[in-house]
Structure 1
Amino acid sequence: MKKWFMAVCISLFTLAGVHNAQAELIRDDNPYVLLEKLASKTLERIETDRELIDQDINHIRVVIREEMMPYVDYVYAAKRVLGRNLTQTTEEQRQEFYTVFRDYLITTYAGAFTQYDETKHTIQFGDASRFEPNSKIVVVNTRLLQEGGPPVRMDFKMRFDKDDNLWKAYDLVVEGVSLLNSKQAEINAVIRSNGIDGTIALLREKAQETVKEHDDIEGSE
């Protein structure tokens, strides 16, 4: 499971793009082209910050927050994760859940990224001509190529955010396994045990932990 999740987060991180908090977002009408642009620029940021990451592993959070999260539709993903529980929450609970879910994703991705080696991983993108211009939701097919291992099939589910005028990823299916569905199962189990407020508190606690390799919500029993 951890190897699978590492592949997920490596690929998600490779969508980052090189820009700081003040820089303009990278945009393209074709999500295939957008992802490829972001991937090629991400390597520059990784190489630039490698020394900082080696000195303080928690710096990975900064990189992910600044580079990856603008292209992740975490609110849409959070709503999908909540599923039927969404209608049983107040507006205040929903907004709080969206925030802690975002922070939890940052820490989770950061934990997987501790194993990332930019000299051994590359992304192979699908044919950009497959994109139909009027589409609002697409699946972008890619492959993670890794030294000493077989290619990993990854299908990015993306939707066009009309408010931000930007294509964003909301799920990643790796070798047929959906990251979103996996997180939905985990978090729904926590909600059944702890309620929505208890789940928010647990996610907040996990989001504030020192970065480490992990892929599960602990303490749900």
Structure 2
Amino acid sequence: MRKFLGFILLLAGLNVAAADVPAPEQLVRNTSKEVLEVIKTEKLSPSDKRFRDLVEAKVLPIFDFNRLTALAVGKYWRQASPEQQAALAREFRTLLVRTYSTAVGANKVQEINVKAVKMADADTDTTVRTEVITASGQPFPIDYRLLKTGNGWKVYDVAVEGVSLVTNYRTSFNQTIQKDGIDGLIKALADRNAAQPAKTSAN
């Protein structure tokens, strides 16, 4: 949970205007600093409306949730109907954002060091490696897989200390599908999200 915080926190800073998309390294470096400053200055917590708005404005647009969900579901994705695919992506997106909201209160990210990225101008798929430093723990690495699309660079996988988010969820998702089918996975995700609603205030 601690490391998931760093993952989403950095992603919260990755949104930029499609008309002026910098290289992935610079994108991560500039915007992660901006979002960290907002969170520290305003002392945001998951119960703040401002925090919710920041997540919705910054986190959601940078994800390719369809691709991320398809990779997590694996071979069963093609067996799902368009309606099932949409439901899976929607529930998975909610799960990721709400997991962050649960974790953020107990963590304090102090700094995010972005390492140099080696890539050619024509590259459309790259990995941005970072080191997250917290107030109470040892630094830990987070690697981001990004794909260049018509709407800019999109995150489609994240590896925390070498463990892929996609691979990690694929194991549990496949187990659920094998037991209860695709609708069973959708229900399991929906039930989990309903059991842990995001907390917001009237601020």
Class of the TM-score when normalised by the shorter of the 2 chains: 0.7 to 0.9
Residue 134 (structure 1) aligns with? 122
TM-superposed CA distance for 1:76, in Å, is 0.6
Residue 159 (structure 1) aligns with? 147
User: What letter matches 1:123 in structure 2?
Assistant: I
1:32-79 superposed Cα distances (whole Å, 9 cap, x missing partner)? 11111110110233135535x27x268754432222121122111101
- Between the aligned partners of 1:25 and 1:42, the Cα distance in structure 2 is 18
1:15 aligns with 2:11: yes
Residue 31 (structure 1) aligns with? 24
Residue 66 (structure 1) aligns with? 57
- Between the aligned partners of 2:27 and 2:178, the Cα distance in structure 1 is 39
Matches within 5 A, 1:194-205: 194-205=180-191
Q: Any unmatched runs of 5+ in structure 2? A: none
Matches within 5 A, 1:110-149: 110-118=101-109, 121-128=110-117, 130-149=118-137
User: What letter matches 1:142 in structure 2?
Assistant: T
Which aligned segments of 4 or more residues in structure 1 are displaced greater than 6 angstroms? none
User: What letter matches 1:104 in structure 2?
Assistant: L
Residue 215 (structure 1) aligns with? none
1:41 aligns with 2:34: yes
1:77 aligns with 2:68: yes
Contact 2:112–2:132 (CA under 8 A) maintained in structure 1: yes
Aligned residues: 198
Q: Any unmatched runs of 5+ in structure 1? A: 213-221
User: What letter matches 1:35 in structure 2?
Assistant: V
**Cα gap change, 1:99/1:202 in structure 2, threshold over 3 Å: closer, same or farther?**
same
TM-superposed CA distance for 1:16, in Å, is 1.6
**Cα gap change, 1:49/1:196 in structure 2, threshold over 3 Å: closer, same or farther?**
farther
Percent identity over the alignment is: 24
1:93 aligns with 2:81: no
